[in-house]
Structure 1
Amino acid sequence: MTLKGALTWISTGGGGLLIGAALGLLMTVAFEDPLKKLLQGVRRRSRVLRSRRRTPNASGFEFGGATSPFMIVAGDGTEAIKEELVHLVVSDEPIELPAELAAWRSEIAAEEQARKTSGSPHHWNGDCFAVEKLVEERTARDEEVEIFLHLRRTDYYSFLASQHLDRRFRDGTTPRSRYIDPVGHRRAPVFMSLSLGTSVLVITTDNHVLICQRGPDVGSRPLHWGVSADEGLSARLDSPSGLPPRIHAAARRGLCEELSLEDHEYRLALLGFTIDTERHQWDSVFVAYAHDLSSEQLDRRLQRSGKDRGLEIESWEFAPFTVRSVLQRLHGGWPTRAWTPVAPVALYLALVHEYGRWRVERLARNHSKRLRR
């Protein structure tokens, strides 16, 4: 066969098919692994992007379909954190605000003074505490949770200035984009972490939980519905002698001032520490089990008012403290109500403490499925 005839046979006859198959096999062998790796990488990237679209706030909290801009830093509700294993360590090193935040603080001070002079509702500049860091350890003997909370002294007007997380600086950045987003909420600088509060849910003897609406003039989220009582840690009230404050004592003070509950009337359990990621506020979550008070009896006491009840609480209601009841009220029973971000988190931790994580999360998943249908 001539060279020309051979080429014709290869290009048009069965030889072409055989050579094409052979070349295809060689190409498959040569490129199979790289192609597989490329496709696997594309699939992984696609899953990551879909996950990010589903959870735009990586530090958000979800419970039975309710979402909240909150993260749990320590504690999971299953076991209470013992009072003697919570240590608040206070440094006297002063906190210096960056120049632009300091200017915002001066604006706030002038505005509050003008309100005071005119006789309008205003906020006074009390001393409070900033959170420098939280260290979680385990005791050597029983491996129980032990918390070391490192604090610095600050004031309320500095706290209010740090709350403008999305106000723009001159260069177009914001406190959130400049100081929080690059490092995350756990590692944000201390001058952005100028608050530490307590949030308490009260459970009565007939197994009802007290839900309260915040007053119209409170400094944070007025008229929102949330826990039974919340209180900020105060240097003047919780550390009058200069000694480190105690977080349980601050929670008890809040229960006394807002609900007129005395220490001997309930059992207090600390369930966790949290951060409100929308406003970058540190908080602690408690549940208080009444020894003798029913919901009816506590309701009558609240009607007689307490020291701060008229200022802190606008209204209140009692709900059965069961998983199904709480989920129904969070999603359907009170549809027009604005909730504080801590409310779903506190209710979840308290329910886990009472009924166990497996049962609470199983019922929450089922509730979420029903909502999607």
Structure 2
Amino acid sequence: MRAMRDRFTVVGRATGCHLFEGDGTRPIDEENVHVKYTPRRVEFPEEIAGWRRAIEVEEERKEAAGLPHRWNNARFAVERVVVTRTHLAEVPVVSLTLRDADYFDFLTTSLNLDRRQRNGRTLREQYLEGRDPADAPSWMNCSFGINVALETGKDGKMLFSRRSALVAGPNSARWNSSANEGMAQQHDLPGDGGPVSLHAVARRAIYEELAVHDGDRTRVELLGFGLDLVNHQWAAFFRAVAPGLDEAALRLRWTRGVTDKWEHDRFEFVDANPESVLGFIADEPEGRWTPCAPTLFYLALVRGAVERAGGDPSGRFAVEEAEQEIVSARSL
């Protein structure tokens, strides 16, 4: 039996996130991320397929009645994530294999992880606990989220976004990354047959949710990959720095319209230094955070500290020292 994945710990709290790759000290180069897509649908076991049909019927009923409903769209399922290192420089190379799924597929598992099957076991018990959740079958992995921590370069702020209660799923009404986007075939599968770009999805996320445009010259870096052990969702962690933006400029833009404005109901701008960011995380109750958001912001802090240290990885110790002071001061 394989051991469970460890949980990322910050400000004295063990989160529900496993950091699969990355430590924030260096970005993963875009050319070293290889995404392979196979146009073949996931296949549910018979009983689970029945759960999916019930979701589809119910959402169609609500739509026909003019009631609020969830609409389906083509997404991706994660078949596997493999990380290797280059021979000489030993930089990470990530291979991500995807196949077809849709939003109702995602709801089928994400909303039913603790629902008992006829065999008496839940999906969590059968496929995740007591084994490596990273090896779960692809039909259990019908979501891949791009999570971005945005920093405003003009005033040096880190942006925290709280997901709206209108958003489906277990993370509604919780503090999350600045922008979070599930990959969708309609938006992220290139029409010319080229490979899926995680960096392009990250840029789409900050545009659609935060109105950060390509013209803002935002620098986007991939810092790592994680696995939400509570809701069983894969995630990519990005840091984005917009040099010409500040809090006032972004808030003014939001009053003039945002493509996906409904996804968040509150924003907080915090000074982008370890003391302030980690203090904000510590001062908000643990239950108000999504499982992977604290991991993302910690990695972003480490990356910023390493940059300020001229690229020296030991710059991360400034973040660790700030964390120790916060834990001590708050008796965490």
Pair in the same fold by TM > 0.5: yes
**Bigger mean CA deviation after superposition, 266-275 or 89-98:** 89-98
Partner of 2:275: 324
> For residue 361 of structure 1, what is the amino acid of its counterpart?
E
Query: Is structure 2 residue 134 aligned with structure 1 residue 186?
Result: yes
Measure how far apart 1:351 and its partner are. 0.5
Match of 1:344 in 2: 294
Answer yes or no: is 1:101 the counterpart of 2:53: no
Cα-to-partner distance string for 1:181-221 (whole Å, 9 max, x where unaligned) = 24221111111111101011110121101111112221232
Q: Is the 8 A contact 2:278 2:326 kept in 1?
A: yes
Give the aligned partner of residue 51 of structure 1.
none
1:215 equivalent in alignment to 2:164 = yes
Q: Whole-Å Cα distance in 1 between the matches of residues 30 and 214 of structure 2? A: 14
Q: Residues 104 and 348 of structure 1: is their aligned pair in 2 closer, same or farther, counting only changes over 3 Å?
A: same
1:141 Cα deviation from its structure 2 partner: 4.4
Give the Cα separation in 2 of the matches to 1:257 and 1:299: 14
Partner of 2:268, secondary structure, is strand
The whole-number CA distance in structure 2 between the counterparts of 1:145 and 1:367 is 32
Task: Provide the C-alpha distance between the structure 2 equivalents of 1:336 and 1:156, rounded to a whole number of angstroms.
Answer: 28
Number of residue equivalences: 315
Q: Output aligned runs, 1:53-92, within 5 Å.
A: 59-92=6-39
Report sequence identity in percent. Answer: 37
Aligned pair 1:177/2:125, yes or no? Answer: yes
For the 8 Å contact 2:158–2:277, the answer to whether it is kept is no
The answer on whether the counterparts of 2:76 and 2:185 sit within 8 Å (CA) in structure 1 is: yes
Instruction: Report runs of 4+ in structure 1 exceeding 4 Å deviation.
Output: none
Matches within 5 A, 1:1-373: 59-163=6-110, 164-205=112-153, 206-220=155-169, 221-241=171-191, 242-265=193-216, 266-309=218-261, 311-332=262-283, 334-335=284-285, 338-355=288-305, 356-372=315-331
- 1:95 to partner: Cα distance: 1.4
Highest CA radius of gyration, 1 or 2?
1
Give me the whole-angstrom Cα distance separating, in 2, the residues matched to 1:257 and 1:154.
Answer: 22
Asked if structure 2 preserves the Cα contact closer than 8 Å seen for 1:65 and 1:367, the reply is no
Unmatched segments (≥5 aa) in structure 2: 306-314
CA contact (8 A) 1:66 1:330 kept: no
Equivalent-residue separation in structure 1 for 2:190 and 2:92 (angstroms): 28
Q: With structure 2 as the length reference, what TM-score do the two structures score?
A: 0.90
Partners of 2:286 and 2:146 in 1: CA distance: 26
**1:59, 1:277 within 8 Å by CA — same for their partners in 2?**
no
Q: Which residue of 1 aligns with 2:312?
A: none
Q: Distance in 1 between matches of 2:199 and 2:252?
A: 26
> Which residue number corresponds to residue 20 of structure 1?
none
| 3-state SS of 1:231 partner | strand
Deviation at 1:245, TM superposition (A): 1.5
Amino acid at match of 1:105: R
CA distances 1:85-128 after superposition (whole Å, capped 9, x unpaired):
11111122331101111111011111111221222222211111
Distance 2:175 2:221 in 1: 22
Quote the Cα distance in structure 2 between the aligned partners of 1:167 and 1:64: 32
- Equivalent residue, structure 2, for 1:12: none
- Contact 1:270 / 1:286 at 8 angstroms: preserved in 2? yes
Higher relative contact order at CA 8 Å, sep ≥6: structure 1 or structure 2? 2
SS for the counterpart of 2:258 is: coil
Change (3 A) 1:169 1:134: same
Q: RMSD in angstroms over aligned alpha carbons?
A: 1.8
Alpha-carbon deviation of 1:165? 0.9
Counterpart of 2:168 in structure 1: which amino acid?
Answer: G
How far 1:295 moved relative to its partner? 1.6
